[in-house]
Amino acid sequence: MGTDITVLAVDWAHLMGIPPDDRLTVLQQSAYPDDDGDDPVVDAGWVWPAERDRSWLGRYEFAGTLGSYEPHFWAAEAWEDVRAVADPVLRAALDAFLSTLIWPGPDPETDAEHVDPGLFPSPAPLWRSGPLIARGPDAVARLSRCWQETAAALPRLREPYERLAAGPGRWIEDFDEFTRLLSGWAEVVLEAERRRWGLVGLPL
């Protein structure tokens, strides 16, 4: 894939107060400190900026990904490999969870949209091309419900996953790495829901 992703929890009321044409640019400028700023360095988990003008967002670092989008891509590919044998409850929940975030969806002719309608007039202001994810508080609440259903049933996927979807040498090699990545997304979703915020993924 060759691109990166920066995942943010975002105060949606603040974002909606920014003129639509400026939202992507402001998000990109706010995701990391300027030359005078100094975010803490973490290998995994949350970074909450100390600057007042960046207090409306937090950045999440996924464990073991180095900011690359490739693990997310391979997790979606692995779900394609194994979803046909997942039990129906898990399949429905994880379909909804992943198609809202990183999976193109079950129809190869129609990619799932990963941005709430009307949020950005155009992706043109993006500094880099790549996957763009933007989900408001309503979508985050639905994601939280999907994750609750997913988490309860996910252990039953271990055996078929290791048989059908494990890929030594991939970014996501096995079921444990698959669940670790999903759990990272769940942490983003649950924190955003707790704050009644949204979430954004930028190709930075």
- Predicted confidence at residue 2, as pLDDT, reads 63
Residue 174 reports pLDDT greater than 50: yes
- Predicted confidence at residue 36, as pLDDT, reads 66
Mean pLDDT of all residues in 138-154: 96
The pTM of the full predicted model, rounded to 2 decimals, is 0.94
Burial 71-106 (b: 16+ CB within 10 A, else e): bbbbbbebbeebbeebeeebbebbbbbbbbbbbbbe
AA identity, residue 14: H
- Surface-to-core class of residue 159, CB atoms within 10 Å of its CB (0-12 exposed, 13-18 middle, 19+ buried): exposed
What is the rounded distance in angstroms from the CA atom of residue 102 to the CA atom of residue 128? 18
Average pLDDT of every residue of the chain: 93
Residue 115 reports pLDDT greater than 50: yes
Confidence tier at 168 by pLDDT (50, 70, 90): confident
- Predicted confidence at residue 68, as pLDDT, reads 95
- Highest-confidence range of 42-51, 168-177, 179-188, by mean pLDDT? 179-188
CA angle 126, 130, 135 (to 5 degrees): 75
Residue 26 reports pLDDT greater than 80: yes
What is the rounded distance in angstroms from the CA atom of residue 194 to the CA atom of residue 123? 28
For residue 183, give Cα distances in angstroms to 62, 119, 175, 198: 9, 26, 12, 17
Mean pLDDT of all residues in 119-125: 92
Strands 45-47 and 57-61: antiparallel
Contacts of residue 125, Cβ cutoff 8 Å, sequence gap at least 6? 21, 22, 24, 25, 28
- Predicted confidence at residue 50, as pLDDT, reads 87
- Predicted confidence at residue 1, as pLDDT, reads 46
Mean pLDDT of all residues in 155-178: 93
